[in-house]
Structure 1
Amino acid sequence: MWYAWLEAQRNLMQMLSEWATRAQSGSAPAQSRDSRVAAAGWDWMYRLIQPPLEPPPFAISTIQIAGEEVPVVEQVVDSTPFCALRKFTRALPSAASTTTLRAPVAPEIFLCAPLAGHHAVMLRETVETLLQDGNVYVTDWADARDVPVAAGSFGLDDYVLAIQRFLRTAGSTGLHVVAVCQATGPTLAATALSASAGEAPPRSVTLMGGPIDARLNPTRVDRFAQTHSLDWFRTTVIDTVPPPHPGAGRRVYPGFIQHAAIVAAHPHRQWALESRYWMSLCSGDAQAIARDLRRLNEYAAVLDMAEDYFVDTIRVSFQEHRLACGTWKVGTNPVRPQDLSYAALCTVEGARDDITGAGQTHAAQTLCSAVPAARRQMLTVADCDHYDLFTGPRWQEVIHPALAAFWRAPG
Structure 2
Amino acid sequence: MLYDWLEAQRALLRSIDTWANLASNAWGSNASKDPMLPPGCDWLRRIFQSTPEPPPFDIPFVTIDAEQVAVEESVVEQAPFCALRRFARVSAPQSPSCAAGTGILLCTPLAGHHAVMLRETVQTLLADADVYVTDWANARDVPCAAGTFGLDEYVMTIERFIRRLASDGLHVVAVCQATVPSLAAAALVADAGGAAPASLTLMGGPIDTRLSPTLLDRLAVSHRIEWFRDTVIDTVPAGYAGVGRRIYPGHLQHAAIVAAHPHRQFALEARHWKSRVAGDDAERDASQRALNEYSAVLDMDETYFLDTLRVIFQEQRLARGTWLVAGRRVQPQVLTETALCTVEGDHDDITGAGQTHAAHALCSGIPDALRTRMTVAQCDHYDLFTGPRWREQIHPALGRFWRALAERRSQVANTNT
Please give the root-mean-square deviation of Cα atoms over the aligned residues, in Å: 2.1
- String of CA shifts for 1:154-203, please: whole Å, max 9, x gaps: 00000000001111222354100000000000000000011110001111
Quick one: structure 1 residues 106 and 272, their matched pair in 2 at CA, closer, same or farther if it must change by over 3 Å?
A: farther
Report what 1:271 is aligned to: 266
Matching residue's letter, 2:46: R
Instruction: Name 1:152's counterpart in structure 2.
Output: 147
Q: Distance in 2 between matches of 1:173 and 1:49?
A: 48
Pick from 282, 305, 317: which aligns with 1:322? 317
The answer (yes or no) to whether the contact 2:107–2:182 under 8 Å persists in 1 is yes
Give, in angstroms, the shift of residue 142 of structure 1.
0.3
Q: Distance in 1 between matches of 2:135 and 2:44?
A: 29
| 2:300 matches 1:313 | no
Find the aligned partners of 1:314 and 1:100 in 2 and give their Cα distance: 40
2:180 to 185, 207, 210: 185
Change (3 A) 1:407 1:282: same
Query: Aligned partners of 2:301 and 2:325: how far apart in 1?
Result: 18
Deviates more, 1:199-208 or 1:26-35: 26-35
1:222 maps to 217
* Separation in 2, partners of 1:34, 1:16: 28
Contact 1:75–1:87, Cα closer than 8 Å, also in 2: yes
Match of 2:19 in 1: 19
Following TM superposition, by how much is the alpha carbon of 1:23 offset from its aligned partner in structure 2, in angstroms?
A: 4.7
Q: Give the whole-Å Cα distance in 1 for the aligned partners of 2:133 and 2:187.
A: 20
Task: Pick one of 204, 208, 223 that aligns with 2:203.
Answer: 208
- Contact 1:173–1:201, Cα closer than 8 Å, also in 2: no
TM-score by length of 1: 0.94
User: Relative to structure 1, is the Cα distance of residues 317 and 99 closer, same or farther in structure 2, using a 3 angstrom cutoff?
Assistant: closer
Percent of residue pairs identical: 60
TM-fit CA distance, 1:260: 0.5
Residue type of the partner of 2:64? Answer: I
Separation in 1, partners of 2:144, 2:378:
44
In structure 2, the CA distance between the partners of 1:169 and 1:268, relative to structure 1 (3 Å rule), is same
Letter in 2 for 1:310: F
Match of 2:38 in 1: 37
Shifted more, 22-31 versus 363-372: the winner is: 22-31
Distance 1:24 1:263, change over 3 A: closer
Kept in 1, the 8 Å contact 2:205–2:351? The answer is yes
The answer for the alignment partner of 1:68 in structure 2 is 67
Is the CA contact (8 Å cut-off) linking 2:35 and 2:276 kept in structure 1?
no
| 1:230 Cα deviation after fit | 0.4
Per the normalisation by structure 2, the TM-score is 0.92
> How far did 1:33 drift?
3.5
Equivalent residue, structure 2, for 1:337: 332
> In structure 2, do the counterparts of structure 1 residues 24 and 35 end up closer, same or farther at CA, with 3 Å as the change threshold?
farther
Among 278, 283, 287, the residue aligned to 1:283: 278
Contact 1:51 1:300 in 2 (8 A): no
Tell me the matched-pair count: 405
* Cα distance, 1:116–1:102 mapped onto 2, change above 3 Å: closer
Deviation of residue 242 (structure 1)? 0.5
- Tell me, what secondary structure is at the counterpart of 2:16? helix
Quote the Cα distance in structure 2 between the aligned partners of 1:265 and 1:162: 30
- Judge conservation of contact 2:95–2:128 (CA < 8 Å) in 1: no
Residue identity in the other structure for 2:181: P
Confirm or deny: 8 A CA contact 2:23 2:44 kept in the other structure.
no
Tell me: CA distance 1:369–1:294, structure 2 relative to 1, closer, same or farther (3 Å). Answer: same
Q: CA deviation at 1:310?
A: 0.2
Determine the structure 1 residue equivalent to 2:414: none
**Are residues 233 and 363 of structure 1, via their aligned partners in 2, closer, same or farther at CA, if it must alter by over 3 Å?**
same
Q: Give the structure 1 partner of residue 379 of structure 2.
A: 384
- Equivalents in 2 of 1:332, 1:28: separation in Å? 57
Note closer, same or farther for the CA distance 1:99–1:213 as it changes in structure 2 (3 Å cut). Answer: closer
- The residue number in structure 2 matching 1:238 is 233
2:122 is aligned with what amino acid? Answer: V
Unaligned ranges ≥5, structure 2:
409-417
C-alpha change, 1:135 and 1:229, in structure 2 (3 Å) is: same
CA distance in 1 between counterparts of 2:95 and 2:364 reads 39
Give the whole-Å Cα distance in 1 for the aligned partners of 2:168 and 2:57.
Answer: 26
Change (3 A) 1:35 1:149: farther
Work out whether residues 97 and 128 of structure 2, in 8 Å CA contact, stay in contact via their aligned partners in 1: no
Gaps of 5+ in 1: none
Alpha-carbon distance between aligned partners in 1 of 2:49 and 2:222, rounded to the nearest angstrom: 32
- Give me the whole-angstrom Cα distance separating, in 1, the residues matched to 2:223 and 2:255: 19
